[in-house]
Every structure is written in C-alpha cells, then in structure tokens.
Amino acid sequence: MTEKPPEIPHFEYRGDIGGGGFAMVHRYYHRKLKRDVAVKVPKATGLSDAVRERFIAEGESMAELGNHRNVVTVYDTDTAADGRPYLVMEYCPGGDLAKLSGRTPLSVKEVLDIGVQVAGAIETAHERRILHRDIKPANILMNEYGKPCLTDFGIAGRFAEQDEDGQVILSVPWSAPELLDRSAVEQGGVPAEVFSLGATLWHLLVGHSPFMPRGTDNSLAAIEQRIVSGWLPTGLAAPADLQRLLARAMAKNPAARPGSVREFAVGLQRIQKAQRFGETELVLMPAPEPDEPVAAASFVAPEAPLAPPTRQRMQPVFVPQEVKPAPHTTARAVAPPPLQLPQARPVPHTTARPPEPPRPLTVDAPQTQLRKPLPDNGIRPSKPSTRSLWPLYVVGAAATAAIVGVGFFLLSGEDKPTGPVTTTITDDVPDQNAGAGGAPPGRPEITATRLDGTKVRFAWTYSAQQATDTFSWRTSTRTGTAKEPQIEVEGANPVCLQVKVVRADGSNATAEWSQESCG
C-alpha cells in the first residue's frame, strides 16, 4: 500500500515535490542544517530485496559523483520508522527542465550552456564507469544558484556489469534506437548516452521530444517506430552548426555519433565560439587511481527493518520516471545493453580546453633581458663610438626592406577564388589548437555576419592557433591587418573578404589565403 510521508527525526515535512509510480520526493526542513532538503522515499512499504537494492544503488551512484557541481548532492541515507529507506538530497527550487521548457522553450545560448555543464557531469560518471541510462529533461534540475544538476540514477549501471535476467526501464522519447531494437548488434553504452543527451537538448529548444512532432500520431508505438527507423526531425530554429551536431548525436548508427560525451561537449563549445557566446567551462573530475580510496566510500546503505530473505537474482522492476506517468514516457523493459569498455585516457580536471602556449619574449623589452652586474673595480665603460653602432644600422635597413616587401605582396594581384562562398564553423572540425606547438596554421574558415546596411563582421577560426598570431586581410578594394581573429568592415552589399595567418616568429608560415567569404 502507498504510505504517507515518513516521520524522520530532526526533519519537518513541508510538502510534496513530485514523483513517479515507485517513489515520491518530499520537501522537508532539516532543523539541524537549517535548510530545505529533498527526501526521496519509496511509496510502498514491504519492498522486495531487489527493489531495495535498486534504491540503495541510486544513492551510492549519486554519492560517488556528489562532488561534481552539476550532480544533485546526496547528504544522507537511512531507514524510516515504517521500514522504508530514504535518501536526503539537495533541494533544487528551480524545477526540472521538462516543465520549464514545456512552458517556454529555452534559447540557443541557454541550451548550449546547459549542454556543456550536464555533459561534464555525464562524462565524469563515465570516467567512474557509471552509465546514467535515463538522460532526459525531467532528470535535470535547476538548483538555487541557477545551475543544472543531473539526478535520478535509479537505473544507473556500471560498465561490463550485467545480469542476464536483469532489465532496465526506458524513457522511449529520448532513447537510442539500439535500446529499442532487440535485433540490433550493439545494445547501448556510451553511444546511447550521447543520443539521449542530443535528444534532450533538442527537446529544450522546442519544448517537446524531437520524436514527438506536434500534430502527428505520438502514440508510444509511433514514437518508437520513428526512432528505430532512423527518422530525424527538421526545421529547428537554431544555427546550422547546432542542427548538424544534434542530428549527428541522434544518428541511427552508433558509430556515426560523437565518440564520447566529452567530444560532444567540445562541439557545443565550438558553436558557442562561433555565436560569440561566452564559452562554458567543461568541468571534468577524473576517477581516482585504483590505490586511492573512493571519496564516496563513507556512504552507508540503510539496513532492512527485518531480516531480508535469501538473496536472489534481481528481477525486472518497472519504475515510471515521470512526475505524471504518461503512456509514452516509460515503456517495455529490455535486456541491459552489453556495454563497451572505453579506452582509458587522461582527463583534465576542469576544462577540455588546452592551455595557450606562452608568448615569446620580446627582444627589445628591457624587463625580459637579464644582465649580470659588473664588478666594481673602479673602471667605468666608455660611451660607444659611432663606428660601433654600424651593425644596428644594417639590421634596421634589413627590417625596413622586409616591411616594404610584405606590403608589396599584400597589394599584388594574386589570383583569388572565384564566386562568393560563405563558410561557417562545423561541429566536426578538429581542435583548433591541436598541434599548435609545431604545426603550421591551418587555412582559416570565415563566418560573415551582416550587422546593418553598411557594416559586416567577419570572424575566422583555424587549426594550430598561437597566441602571437596576427592576420592579413583583403577585400576587392582594401587591405589591412588584425590582431584578433575578427574584424568589422564597412561597405554595402556584398562585401567579400579573405584572411591569411601571419606567424610572429616567421616559423611555419603559409602564403595560403582563406576562401572568400561574403556578407
């Protein structure tokens, strides 16, 4: 039978937050902590050993990831007087993203920011060999600081940990096709998590699952058929780069998706750069070394109120995950996927962005030159004669000649590509700083944005960037240089521009101009 909220010492019941068919989340005031908390407790007493284990596993998974700022924190666990186990968690007053986006779809800037933050939490779980298995808008909560936090690890599992009789619950509208199609060779793992995150971000932009287009048959069977067949939505009001990245994440073939959640997040960061949004930090927390104690080892599982029966293999448990269960939000149980073991690799602690190389020392800057003090032997150096300065005059003449030569080259009539081509940053471009230590600069790719009737903003990216790079640019009537990878040019429609990278020390230089971009 379904029980009332449990009475817990030092806790004052304040109201219900929500829940599904299996558990409820209540709001309590913790008198010792003097703050509101969320308490998750099963609805019914007399839980089977298998159900109790599943509930305890959720707390263990969240406690292990609790130091990540985008995972809901678990404060405590215990057993209530009526025998039900409960979890004491961080209270997130902002609500879940399913409700928020259902009222008003989120902006592109908000979705990119949320996507990178949640991806950091998921990738951190993967580094600890934990799969979430139920990534969807309803399982992302907004905390009191306005940060998205991943919750509900109730069906989480570990890599290579399988039970031939065990089954998992699926939220169909955000599930990968290989999880719904039992004939598929691959049955989930990291690629399925990438698919669910891509479907979740699409949902936030439109207010509903990408596989539930409005005005069509959105029965459970119809949704499942769209996903399994490889059907993809279109017409998203978002930059083309973001549309391509989300479509790639939701590809039917798992091999066609980004290889990891981290790779997907880096693609989102590239789009933030292209849109001139602030780049969100990708927070990653690498798993501890095998000989180090796990931070969450202090988590204590609640004891059963009575002596549990003989331990048996876990049987299927159907747990609706939505606050208001709907026919299409939870579906048939399927066998857990054989999970691929990802190749171990070092992960940065805070961000996937590589550090910029140090700026070279400026030869003529006095603060960068080190001189040994001369011994005080009573002898003072005399002033240099005019004859001793002749090498400086030679160097100055050579530098002047080089500057004139560069100006002649920029103004020369070099052939340019024919036809205006507008380029943009794509989601599968390699890291811009890859090989920056010794590789030549890649050919710039330009994005043109018409600001008004008289001005166009051009911005460009290229591989192997260095902090000291500058840029030469030219139009059909003007030439110039820029210190930053963007410039605003005045002119009526159209204005076309080419860019070339100029390396400060002259090494790895290239005379290759970019394709012409017009705006």
Active-site residue set: 133
Residues that constitute the known binding site for ATP: 40
Q: Are 337 and 189 in contact (CB under 8 A)?
A: yes
Cβ-count burial of 45 within 10 angstroms (0-12 exposed, 13-18 middle, 19+ buried)? middle
Q: Are 158 and 322 in contact (CB under 8 A)?
A: no
Helix (H) or strand (E) holding 97: helix 97-103
Q: Which of 77, 99, 81 is nearest to 17 (CA)?
A: 99
- What are the structure tokens assigned to 192, written together? 């399925």
Paired with 446 in beta bridges are: 460
Q: How far apart are CA 509 and CA 512, in angstroms?
A: 9
103 φ, ψ (degrees, to nearest 5): -80, -45
- Region of 491 (left: φ > 0; alpha: ψ -120 to 50; beta: rest) is left
- What are the structure tokens assigned to 194, written together? 């990438």
Angle between helix axes 261-274 and 240-249 (nearest 10 degrees) is 170
Q: Which of 170, 182, 183 is nearest to 211 (CA)?
A: 170
- What are the structure tokens assigned to 88, written together? 């004491």
The residue type at 129: R
- What are the structure tokens assigned to 21, written together? 């068919």
DSSP state of 232: -
- What are the structure tokens assigned to 341, written together? 């073991």
Q: Are 519 and 491 in contact (CB under 8 A)?
A: no
**Under DSSP, is residue 296 helix (H, G, I), strand (E, B) or coil?**
helix
Which residue has 């005080």 as its token pair? Answer: 376
- What are the structure tokens assigned to 360, written together? 């070279």
